[in-house]
């Protein structure tokens, strides 16, 4: 099968970087909106019998998700041999369970939509909850940004690894913090115990672990309004943290998020390019995940294992 790479409009710059990492050009695909906003999609080259990879992050607006579904459906109807949805940011992933009456499990619905549209396989990065993998009845490769974090921090000697603690911004992030700590040479971890009185509101209750006089690295999957990271940084500073860095894979940066980052005692916020930045700041540095995704695409196409990428 011939490998063909296509991109939606959700994150075209990342798609170009991935294509460069793979060593091919993005395929010709027309996407436009009718006057009423309805999306039109057309492949402008033959994909019959091809191994098609469609790159699209599904951050808001919902048009990004709809666009991905239409591209997959068009590829299926154009007789592609296999269709892999490459989703650097899996939108609606935070609605992963029925935690109150009369609400949807939106992450499951999105999985159903993707497979119904015709996706034979899914490649994604740093899902908000591991259980989302079980929502799919097709193979799913869940990459972790740990590979990117470790390489970037080691290559640039950012941390004093002899005096660093990896911090989970909530109890749910403990597993990820441990994973990063091990990959950086067996670093200790600490946990910020937080409480959400309402959606997008955070109150820090306690810090579990010793951070006094330490450099700390907060590790999270999403930064949305910035409340979790800002409050965690303040709590860590109050408990004597020397320097505070943060890695958040998916930078939604809604509302006053950038202002909160700048006001917080953060030395640096590192984010990936899984989502195009709405705004930037002198405190924010983007680290690309294109090489990681590109390598995974090549391995999937060639039928090789991607497990070595799960650092």
Please say whether the beta carbons of 243 and 270 come within 8 A. Answer: no
Question: Residue 54: which of 93, 91, 107, 18 has the closest Cα?
Answer: 18
Q: What share of the chain is helix, strand, coil (3-state, %, to 5)?
A: 35, 25, 40
Is 242 catalytic? The answer is no
Q: Are residues 139 and 162 in the same domain?
A: no
pLDDT value of position 284: 95
Q: Are residues 104 and 206 in the same domain?
A: no
87-107 pLDDT per residue, tens: 999 999 999 888 889 999 999
Total tally of structural domains belonging to the chain? 2
Q: Are residues 112 and 170 in the same domain?
A: no
Q: Can you read off the two tokens belonging to residue 146?
A: 């740990």
Q: Is the pLDDT of residue 194 over 80?
A: no
Q: Are residues 276 and 167 in the same domain?
A: yes
pLDDT value of position 227: 87
pLDDT value of position 77: 97
4-60 pLDDT per residue, tens: 999 999 999 999 999 999 999 999 999 999 999 999 999 999 999 999 999 999 999
Distance CA 237, CA 244 (A): 8
Q: What is the CATH number of the domain that holds 212?
A: 3.40.50.2020
3-state secondary structure of 144: coil
Work out the pLDDT band at 204, boundaries 50, 70, 90.
low
Q: Is the pLDDT of residue 207 over 60?
A: yes
Domain that holds residue 13: 3-143+291-309
First and final CA of the chain: distance in angstroms?
A: 29
Q: Are residues 304 and 280 in the same domain?
A: no
Please say whether the beta carbons of 16 and 53 come within 8 A. Answer: no
233-246 pLDDT per residue, tens: 999 999 999 999 99
Q: Are residues 32 and 64 in the same domain?
A: yes
pLDDT value of position 201: 57
Q: Are residues 89 and 164 in the same domain?
A: no
Distance CA 189, CA 181 (A): 7
Q: Is the pLDDT of residue 126 over 80?
A: yes
Catalytic residue selected from 4, 108, 194, 243: 194
Question: Residue 183: which of 219, 210, 207 has the closest Cα?
Answer: 219
Work out the pLDDT band at 157, boundaries 50, 70, 90.
confident
Q: Are residues 232 and 251 in the same domain?
A: yes
pLDDT value of position 221: 92
Region class of 11: left (phi > 0), else alpha (psi between -120 and 50), else beta: beta
Q: Is the pLDDT of residue 86 over 70?
A: yes
Q: Is the pLDDT of residue 196 over 80?
A: no
Which residues are CB-contacts of 228 (< 8 A; sequence separation ≥ 6)? 169, 170, 194, 202, 220
Q: Are strands 189-195 and 51-55 parallel, antiparallel or unpaired?
A: unpaired
DSSP 289: -
Distance CA 219, CA 166 (A): 7
Q: Are residues 127 and 220 in the same domain?
A: no
Q: Are residues 119 and 102 in the same domain?
A: yes
Please say whether the beta carbons of 257 and 266 come within 8 A. Answer: no
Q: Are residues 78 and 150 in the same domain?
A: no
Q: Is the pLDDT of residue 291 over 90?
A: yes
pLDDT value of position 1: 85
Mean pLDDT of the chain: 92
Which residues are CB-contacts of 231 (< 8 A; sequence separation ≥ 6)? 192, 194, 202, 203, 204
pLDDT value of position 206: 82
Region class of 113: left (phi > 0), else alpha (psi between -120 and 50), else beta: alpha
Q: Are residues 303 and 201 in the same domain?
A: no
């Amino acid at each position: 099968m011939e490998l063909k790479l296509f991109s939606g409009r959700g994150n075209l710059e990342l798609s170009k970087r991935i294509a460069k990492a793979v060593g091919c050009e993005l395929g010709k695909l027309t996407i436009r909106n009718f006057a009423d906003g309805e999306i039109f999609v057309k492949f402008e080259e033959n994909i019959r019998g091809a191994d098609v990879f469609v790159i699209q992050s599904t951050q808001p607006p919902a048009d990004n998700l709809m666009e991905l579904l239409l591209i997959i459906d068009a590829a299926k109807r154009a007789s592609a041999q296999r269709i892999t949805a490459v989703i650097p940011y899996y939108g609606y992933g935070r609605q992963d369970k029925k935690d109150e009456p009369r609400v949807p499990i939106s992450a499951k619905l999105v999985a159903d939509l993707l497979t119904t549209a015709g996706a034979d396989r899914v490649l994604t990065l740093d899902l908000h909850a591991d259980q989302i993998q079980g929502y799919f009845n097709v193979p799913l490769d869940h990459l972790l940004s740990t590979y990117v974090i470790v390489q970037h921090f080691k290559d640039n000697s950012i941390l004093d690894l002899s005096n660093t603690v990896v911090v989970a911004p909530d109890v749910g992030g403990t597993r990820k913090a441990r994973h990063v700590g091990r990959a950086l040479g067996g670093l200790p971890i600490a946990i910020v115990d937080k409480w959400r009185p309402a959606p997008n509101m955070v109150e820090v209750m306690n810090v579990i672990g010793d951070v006094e006089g330490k450099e700390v690295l907060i590790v999270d999957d999403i930064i949305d309004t910035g409340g979790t990271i800002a409050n965690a940084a303040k709590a860590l500073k109050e408990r004597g943290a020397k320097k505070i860095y943060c890695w958040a894979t998916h930078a939604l940066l809604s509302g006053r998020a950038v202002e909160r980052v700048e006001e917080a005692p953060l030395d640096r916020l590192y984010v990936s390019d899984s989502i195009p930045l709405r705004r930037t700041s002198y405190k924010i540095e983007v680290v690309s995940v294109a090489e990681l995704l590109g390598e995974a695409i090549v391995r999937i196409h060639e039928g090789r294992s991607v497990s070595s990428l799960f650092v």
